[in-house]
Amino acid sequence: MTASNVSSAGPSVPSSSATGPNTKPMALGEIPLPAPVWSRLTRRLFGHRGLTIGLCLVALAVLIAIFAPLLAPHDPYFQDIANRMVPPIWHDKGTWEHVLGTDKLGRDYLSRLLYGTRISLTIGLIAALISGVIGTTLGVLAGYFGGRVDAVISYVITTRLAMPVVLVALALASLTGGSLVTVIVLLGLLLWDRFAVVSRSVTQQLRDAEYIYAARTLGCSRAYILVREILPNITGALIVVITLEMAHAILLEATLSFLGMGVQPPLPSWGLMVAEGKAYMFFQPWVIVIPGVALFLLVLAINLLGDGLRDLNAPGGRN
């Protein structure tokens, strides 16, 4: 089998198959995207309503997180004891000074909410990346080598699935003294199961593909095949898992912080804001409604994005 055969036997994704063993790797930027391809891409991206909504909301959240210092009207940590529990603007006693009101320490709720986006997104993203590296490594090895390697790794996955995540995370966060960094690391070390399951099954399907045979025949090393042939072809599936696990990590962080074992005060974590507002929720329900809605919208947006991407990957229909 010749080198030209190798690249033509590649999968249908052009950017990843162009790098057959003997072809010089080509950066994406070097290939100008023809106009029809571009318009088809935008039509696919924006033709899916859920995906559009998810994409816009996530982009908005990212912008808020980046520009929080510019957008926030007040210092999120500044305590104005004279102005505690000011209701939001739609309330009779609301003021434009504090659009979403203030909390029990007189801190501006809108500013805390905006800064809270940073915490949720950072935790979601880094935890998903850590768990992605762990899970994908395990899954690809299990799927590619099969046999005994697969048996051992599958056993590890089964064991991890049987561990009660919330309880274990609570106990460990409490022992290590909950902080932003420990929460991120803990979630990253706990949430890799879906990455492993998905990358294992996708790799199993790829293992016997012709271009993998070709690479093996050409004498490519195992590491080369795993990193340059398998990995690029499972990224589509992995991106979907990344979004799901980001949402999962954000919800778990909020839960841990709500239970007092996650991010510690005075950081403006949304879960912590709900916990702090809990004592006031009977008479001023907005103290828990506002951070809860923010959390709900962010997780919803990330899930919609993930569902949409999955539909793009598998054009058969939404299921």
x/- letters, 49..68, toward another protein (CB under 8 A): -x------------------
> Cβ closer to another protein: 76 or 277?
277
The encoded tokens of residue 186 equal: 């803990």
Binder of another protein out of 72, 100, 170, 197 (CB under 8 A)? 170
Query: Could you give the CA distance from residue 224 to residue 230 in angstroms, rounded to a whole number?
Result: 9
* Min dist. Cβ of residue 150 to another protein (A): 13
> Cβ closer to another protein: 17 or 120?
120
Q: Is the peptide bond before 14 cis (omega within 30 degrees of 0)?
A: no
The three-state secondary structure class of 47 is: helix
Chain residues 135-164 in contact with another protein, contact rule CB under 8 A: 155, 158-159, 161-164
**4 binds another protein, rule: CB under 8 A:** no
Q: What angle do CA 255, 259, 263 make, to 5 degrees?
A: 75
Cα dihedral across residues 155, 159, 161, 162: positive or negative = positive
Binder of another protein out of 45, 168, 180, 312 (CB under 8 A)? 168
- Round the CA-based radius of gyration of the chain to a whole number and report it: 24
The three-state secondary structure class of 316 is: coil
Chain residues 232-261 in contact with another protein, contact rule CB under 8 A: 247, 251, 254-255, 258-261
* Min dist. Cβ of residue 241 to another protein (A): 15
Q: Is the peptide bond before 36 cis (omega within 30 degrees of 0)?
A: no
**101 binds another protein, rule: CB under 8 A:** no
Q: Are 261 and 173 in contact (CB under 8 A)?
A: yes
* Min dist. Cβ of residue 133 to another protein (A): 20
Q: Are 271 and 119 in contact (CB under 8 A)?
A: no
> Cβ closer to another protein: 153 or 226?
153
Judged by CB under 8 A, the stretch of 63-71, 109-117, 228-236, 280-288 that binds another protein is 280-288
**303 binds another protein, rule: CB under 8 A:** yes
* Min dist. Cβ of residue 295 to another protein (A): 5
Query: Could you give the CA distance from residue 196 to residue 160 in angstroms, rounded to a whole number?
Result: 11
The residue among 105, 109, 77, 78 whose CA lies nearest residue 91 is: 109
Please name the residue that has the structure tokens 């790098």. 19
**105 binds another protein, rule: CB under 8 A:** no
**90 binds another protein, rule: CB under 8 A:** no
Q: Are 135 and 193 in contact (CB under 8 A)?
A: yes
Site of interaction with another protein (CB under 8 A): 50, 155, 158-159, 161-168, 170-172, 174-177, 247, 251, 254-255, 258-261, 271, 274, 278, 281-282, 285, 288-289, 292, 295-297, 299-300, 303-304, 307, 319
